Amino acid sequence: MPAGSRRLPIRQRLFAGFAGVVVVMTLLAVVLVTSGLRRVLTETFQEELARQLALGEWILEGVSDAEPDVLAREITERVGYRVSLISSDGVVLGDSYVEPGRLTEVEDHSDRPEVRGALAGQESFAQRTSTTVDEPLLYGARLVTLGGEAIVLRLAAPLTDVERAVGRARDALVLGGLLAMMVALVIAYFVSGALSRPLERFVSMAGRVAGGAFDGRAPSNSGVPELDELATALNRLTEELETRLSELSQERDGVQALIDCMAEGVVALTDDARVFRTNRAARALLNLQTFQEGTPVQELVRHTELRRVLVESAVRPISQREVQFGGSHLIVSSRTLDTGGAVTTLLDVSEIRRLENVRRDFVANASHELKTPLTSIRGYAETLMQGDAPEDLRDAFVASIRNNALRLQHLVDDLLDLSRLESGGWVARSQFVSVQAAAEEAGSWCSDAVAAREITIVIDAETEVYADPKGLSQSLRNLLENAIRHSDDGGVIRVVSREVGQGLAHIEVVDEGEGIPAKALPRIFERFYRADSSRARDFGGTGLGLAIVRHLIEGMGGRVEAESQLGAGATIRLVLPTRAPLGGLEEDGGDTVREASKVTQDPAVGRGKSSTLFPGAANGAAA
């Protein structure tokens, strides 16, 4: 942009400032002088009106029997102003500007301020526009005696002469003000130009410095000593700033590169808990996509405990404090700085804590599940070793030892199945599968348990889904065995399916059993979790069946849901796709975790047949 076009706006602003001052001063002078003149003229006029009131009172003292209307007109002839004679109750007895026949039409004057003042015994004045003659008047009134009766003598003088005098004075002031303003504006134009040129140069240089260009220098030959000194100081400041910024930039880049390479999150805080620097790890841990330096922690962190710890870390050191932040576990440490503020580090130990919980839960649950059958086997075996048990009791002990051994085998098989599922050892080979056929196949595996408990399985599932056939059959088998285990004798279990739109179908296994407590619903798909552990053990559950179902269905691109009310049965819902993905159909490989088969003699859970897909999984379905 040319220098001239940059110089003009500054000159215009200076010129406008001078012009504004002149205009304001001129207007202020006009307003003050005219208002003062009006006040002085009004006061003078009021004094004149007081003298005329005294004259009117003198005239009335020499009259005793004349009509009030006639008296009002005679006084007007002598003083030249409108005269009204008003009784003490506000009735107009005579008015020099009103015909005698219309006096009865004149309104009550008892509410007029000058009348009230006169009735109070004072000489009173008021200004207003008369409703009778429709012009601004100055009223003056005093209490007089006419024929032995106290009445109010009121004079009304027009203010038009005052307004004309004020108007002439105002016109003269405006004309003089305009002439003075023109002279002042000419002077302001040249003064603003002389001041704006060096200022424009300073602004231009400051703009280049702010943009990072330090090669320009301000001219120091403006002819104004103060501005030349300012230019010299600005040039020195520019040179010093260039040097310091270069050093700071190198240092900042080095420090930022260093902390960005750290695996720990680093947050630099001011002493009033404002964030002015972070690294990539900290922004990822705190879910900070973008933020401005200097933003308070309270605006960036929503988690209450983490926000409290960060605010505390800005003023005092913190050593190894663990905070659970959403699904993450963070170790927070901080060190205060001598210059104020603190550097706080965030170490994500979520994976370590998860592995610790997994290991602890697995050891506890597996130990608990293994302890019961091992204790039974040991007890029965020690009894048999004594050799004095009856034959029928010996056979029962041997059968119990065998059943507990089978239970241990089922538990180990389920653990191996679940381990391979969690490690990705099984891959679904999906194709279009009839839910009816898969449910009937699963129901056939449970026929022994159904017959023993007189339970009825009703299948109404004609939908087709895109899933692994064996994985779907095994999932339905686990769900049916779980429903049988938690249903009363003679109960009904239903398998129903329906398409719900958006390329999805629902497959539901509904029982009429005791139901699942609301607090247990979120956890029933966890390993070894049982809502009713005593009943599950009575009927041979291992606590792994629903966990296997969850992994199977999620491996086929679906999800598992549970609904229940205590005492009103439970519904386990499989949500599976009804359409193949965009990549097309996969080959039907039907891979399984284990192709071995096993047979159990426990009629309560229907294990009289072998399974070709996760044979051990059906042994541990748990609610």
Between residues 419 and 73, which one has the greater pLDDT? 73
pTM for this predicted structure: 0.42
| Distance from C-alpha of 595 to C-alpha of 93, rounded to nearest angstrom | 129
For residue 586, the 8-state DSSP code is P
Q: Over the stretch 537-585, which tens digit does the pLDDT of each residue have? A: 454 556 677 888 888 888 888 889 888 878 788 888 889 998 887 654 4
| Distance from C-alpha of 441 to C-alpha of 473, rounded to nearest angstrom | 7
SS3 33: helix
H-run or E-run covering 574: strand 570-577
pLDDT at 307 over 60: yes
- The amino acid occupying position 298 is Q
Contact 524, 561 (CB under 8 A): no
| Distance from C-alpha of 120 to C-alpha of 118, rounded to nearest angstrom | 5
**Residue for token pair 């086929």:** 556
* H-only helix segments in 62-159: 68-79, 113-119
| The pLDDT value given to residue 619 | 37
pLDDT band at 605 (very low <50, low <70, confident <90, very high): very low
Extents of the domains making up the chain? 1-213, 217-260, 262-348, 353-412, 419-620
* H-only helix segments in 98-159: 113-119
**Residue for token pair 């048999």:** 384
SS3 280: helix
Fold of 419-620: Heat Shock Protein 90 (3.30.565)
Pairing of strands 295-296, 124-129: unpaired
Average pLDDT of span 414-425: 69
The CATH classification number of 1-213 equals 3.30.450.20
pLDDT at 318 over 60: yes
Answer whether CATH 3.30.450.20 is correct for domain 262-348. yes
Average pLDDT of span 295-305: 80
Between residues 606 and 160, which one has the greater pLDDT? 160
Q: Over the stretch 109-162, which tens digit does the pLDDT of each residue have? A: 888 888 888 888 888 888 887 766 677 888 888 888 877 788 888 888 887 777
Contact 169, 153 (CB under 8 A): no
pLDDT at 597 over 50: no
Q: Tokens representing 265?
A: 């999150």
Nearest to 442 by CA among 487, 514, 495, 488: 495
**Residue for token pair 């979790």:** 529
* Burial profile 226-235: b = 16 or more Cβ within 10 angstroms, e = fewer: ebbebbeebb
For residue 556, the 8-state DSSP code is T
What is the edge-to-edge ordering of all strands in the sheet holding 318-325? 295-296, 274-278, 265-269, 342-348, 328-336, 318-325
Of 63-67, 167-171, 300-304, 503-507, give the lowest mean pLDDT range.
Answer: 63-67
Q: Over the stretch 153-195, which tens digit does the pLDDT of each residue have? A: 888 888 777 777 777 877 877 787 788 778 877 877 777 766 6
| Distance from C-alpha of 28 to C-alpha of 34, rounded to nearest angstrom | 10
What residues contact residue 473 under an 8 Å CB cut-off, 6+ apart?
438, 441, 442, 613
Q: Tell me, yes or no, if the two domains 1-213 and 262-348 fold the same way.
A: yes
